[in-house]
Amino acid sequence: MDDTTFLWNGVQPLIRIVVVGVTAYLAIVLILRVSGKRTLASMSAFDFVIAVAVGAVFGRTLTTKDLSISEAVTAFILLAVLQFIFAYFEGKSKVFKKIFNTSPTLLFYDGKFIEKNLHKERLDESKVLSAVRKKGFGSMDDVAAVILEIDAQLSVIGKSKEGKSSTFQELLDETEL
């Protein structure tokens, strides 16, 4: 490759990038719309892998002549189908769900931080306190629980909202307090 090719290789490669880029982008949007809202909602680890893979295929489609648009669209469809299959089995099988998905983690309950869970999730008390402040609580005395959800968001449950049929009773049963 000489210096001029490095700087300018003509208009043809640019036209290819625009045509392939627009076509691949529209294919991704269409496939994501067909595959459902779960694909675009908060992501699990598997969803994240799919998103990275889609980005990698899209990037490669734009930058190489070795991958045709039909091959790229096939890859996009394959990734969407894999995501659908995993979501289907995740809803049908507790074992599958346990293997491929995380579960929420109780980080704070009844006035105490659960150090073992904070350590396991590689969090510290300052992150929990930050989430509590963002939810408008001025004191941990007003907080019943803080839960790290499967989408990595922190849920803060106030004491007045706890009630008898707790939404986190399952976590209480699983956690050594």
- pLDDT of 84 over the 50 cut: yes
pLDDT in tens, 123-147: 999 999 999 999 999 999 999 999 9
Query: Which residues contact residue 134 at a Cβ distance below 8 angstroms, ignoring those fewer than 6 apart?
Result: none
- pLDDT average, residue stretch 66-88: 86
**More confident position, 165 or 57:** 57
Query: Which residues contact residue 118 at a Cβ distance below 8 angstroms, ignoring those fewer than 6 apart?
Result: 107, 124, 125, 128
- pLDDT average, residue stretch 28-40: 67
Among 51-55, 86-90, 151-155, 172-176, which stretch is predicted with the lowest mean pLDDT?
A: 172-176
pTM above the 0.85 mark?
no
Q: Does domain 105-174 have CATH number 3.30.240.20?
A: yes
Distance of CA 87 to the CA centre of its chain: 13
pLDDT at 18: 87
- pLDDT of 5 over the 80 cut: no
Q: Tokens 């790290």 identify what position? A: 148
Residue 124 backbone dihedrals phi, psi, to 5 degrees: -125, 170
- pLDDT average, residue stretch 84-108: 82
**More confident position, 151 or 135:** 135
Answer yes or no: are the C-beta atoms of 75 and 141 closer than 8 Å: no
DSSP string for residues in the chain: --HHHHH---HHHHHHHHHHHHHHHHHHHHHHHHH-HHHHSS--HHHHHHHHHHHHHHHHHHH-SSS-HHHHHHHHHHHHHHHHHHHHHHHH-HHHHHHHS---EEEEETTEE-HHHHHHTT--HHHHHHHHHHTT-S-GGGEEEEEE-TTSPEEEEEHHHH-SS-TTHHHHHHS--
Which two structure tokens, joined as six digits, stand for 177? 């307090």
In which residue ranges of the chain is CATH 3.30.240.20 found?
105-174
pLDDT at 165: 47
